Structure 1
């Protein structure tokens, strides 16, 4: 286990925490890492942590942050106790620093596990809501679609009826117009015939 821990932490990254001036500084770093577990530390947080640990660059800081995130993940997701946490530290980490990190991880373990449960619930909830919404949408849209089809059928029937009525009315009008024209022509013809007969006599 010690060989695995040494390989995991690399070149004495965790001992850099000993540069922190107080327990509160180490606690702040762990809290900041948990708070930014999804996004990573921003430039402002990095500057604060570098200042706390008296580090000149991110190249020195990043390996330490990776080590701490792994410790946090093991503590939260694997639910390991303080004895198991202690076995993860390489020999380069002083007993005092080991105890401090272990105590802080134990202090926040329950809170962080609760946060993880809330995160998982919030991820699952939109999927459930979306499924329920789709089901409700299906049930509400089916009658609406049926009504729309019925309305469409009614509209089509009414439209056909109107077309038939218009055609009938048009034919009637045409027939009346033709009948009127024929009457006018025949009347005019009779009048012309009477005039011609009168002239001949």
Structure 2
């Protein structure tokens, strides 16, 4: 079987969402296997100046260690990271995180575009990026960058998204090269993220 997210090829997964994203992630992230061999980085738009409870919310439901990404922290396989509120989250070419207080993008900080674009530069064709439900076009330019670098691009089916604006923008930006799936199929793809059997 040719897995959508082949861990032989994919070295990192980045996921972005906005309105409706928490509910979507509660369907997706519990599917991640305990032996997931790659880092998974999640960015959800949150109000600026608020403490994020996302690691606490998801930790009981996910088999992986769950934490907020820290400045200069190296990405570790088998770890689920959440972007902290109030900062852009970047992945440097040496595959460490950095935080930025640059102006918001699409009225958002953290912005999905910033994470996706820097992750594409760091991981090239070994990156997978998934864009979920949301009410603006953040993430579309980032998906286009992942596509240009030869990465794997996935979009939640707009027909089932709580707000389809974000996935529709992602589809337009990638020129139809994105893999469009409902949440149930995306969860199956995450469940298949396991080390290769030798």
TM-score normalised to structure 2 length: 0.20
Higher RCO (CA 8 Å, separation ≥ 6 residues):
2
Q: Which has the higher helix share?
A: 1
Q: Which has the higher strand share?
A: 2
